[in-house]
């Protein structure tokens, strides 16, 4: 089965840039979606189809996807960006989620 | 706007059947969307369980397929999950979610689909 690997944690200073990676075999050929999940809350879509932002998601959130790595970038990180982030793709007739990354804003 | 709300027992005995319902409000379950169930064990990641279309067509995660049944009730604008022969490993927060395959007036193949709306989730504990 297809696996998506994310770093367990990423730390970023307030106002700086955080990059969260999602590794998978030739993931650049797939459509990658990203979700933000704050403690005790449901996931929220922040990026769809590699680099598209849903309405209401700040421009500070951006995405890219190439080769074996997709990346979610959070610019000018704020305290409210502290959350778990999951990538997701469709492969072999099922939706696959990444292992998740905890983002801490220092 | 469309909202999803899960409901069902919070405690299920081992070997029993977990049953949950997701009520869709503010929109029709007979739209062009598929509707999914996703679960998250405490402190762990997300796992897709399965999905249903208003016609009754379903797709299931192969790892759970033998124990899962998802159904739809268009008259009540809701869909349901049944998971049989549960064990402690099935203890999780269960979310219902809307699958989005269309945007900007265009619809795409399944490889492009994602979950654009989620319910708040409900914790189901499997314990005697």
Q: Over the stretch B46-67, which tens digit does the pLDDT of each residue have?
A: 999 999 999 999 999 999 999 9
State residue B110's pLDDT score.
86
Who among A42, A44, A95 is closest to B121 (CB)?
A42
pLDDT at residue B111 tops 90: no
pLDDT at residue A58 tops 90: yes
State residue B115's pLDDT score.
97
Instruction: Decide if B112 and A31 are in contact by the 8 Å CB cutoff.
Output: yes
pLDDT at residue A55 tops 80: yes
Q: Are A8 and A101 in contact (CB under 8 A)?
A: yes
Q: Are B125 and B14 in contact (CB under 8 A)?
A: no
pLDDT (average), residues A21-30:
97
pLDDT at residue B108 tops 90: no
Q: What percent of chain A has pLDDT over 90?
A: 97
The number of C-alpha atoms within 13 Å of B127 and in the hemisphere containing its C-beta is 7
Q: Are B35 and B98 in contact (CB under 8 A)?
A: yes
State residue A89's pLDDT score.
97
Instruction: Decide if A49 and B115 are in contact by the 8 Å CB cutoff.
Output: no
Buried-exposed string B82-117: b where 16+ CB fall within 10 A, e elsewhere: ebeebeeebbbbbbbbbbbbeeeeeeeeeebbbbbb
Distance CA A40, CA B121 (A): 9
The DSSP annotation for B30-78 comes to: TSS-EEEEEEE-TTS--EEEEEE-TTS-EEE-TTTGGGEEEEEETTTTE
pLDDT at residue A20 tops 80: yes
CA distances from A99 to A7, A22, A53, A81, B94 (A): 8, 9, 22, 18, 17
- pLDDT per residue over B65-105, tens digit each? 999 999 999 999 999 999 999 999 999 999 999 999 887 77
Instruction: Decide if A43 and B118 are in contact by the 8 Å CB cutoff.
Output: yes
Who among A30, A43, A93 is closest to B46 (CB)?
A43
Distance CA B62, CA A93 (A): 9
CB contact B122 to A (< 8 Å): no
């Amino acid at each position: 089965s297809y696996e998506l690997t994310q770093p367990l944690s990423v730390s970023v200073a307030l106002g700086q840039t955080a990059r969260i990676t999602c590794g998978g075999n030739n993931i650049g050929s797939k459509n990658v979606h990203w979700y933000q999940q704050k403690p005790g809350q449901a996931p929220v879509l922040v990026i769809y189809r590699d680099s598209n932002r849903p309405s209401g998601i700040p421009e500070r959130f951006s995405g890219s996807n190439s080769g074996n790595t997709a990346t979610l970038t959070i610019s000018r990180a704020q305290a409210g960006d502290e959350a778990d982030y999951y990538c997701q793709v469709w492969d072999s007739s099922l939706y696959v989620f990444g292992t998740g990354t905890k983002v801490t804003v220092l | 706007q469309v909202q999803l709300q899960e409901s069902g027992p919070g405690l299920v005995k081992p070997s029993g059947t977990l049953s949950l319902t997701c009520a869709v409000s503010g929109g029709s379950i007979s739209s062009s969307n598929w509707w999914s169930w996703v679960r998250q064990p405490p402190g762990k990641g997300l796992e897709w369980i399965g999905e249903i279309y208003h016609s009754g067509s379903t797709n299931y995660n192969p790892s759970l397929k033998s124990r899962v049944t998802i159904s739809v009730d268009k008259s009540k604008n809701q869909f349901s999950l049944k998971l049989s022969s549960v064990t402690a490993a099935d203890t999780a927060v269960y979310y219902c979610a809307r699958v989005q395959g269309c945007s900007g007036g265009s619809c795409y193949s399944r490889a492009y689909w994602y979950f654009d709306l989620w319910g708040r989730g409900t914790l189901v504990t499997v314990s005697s």
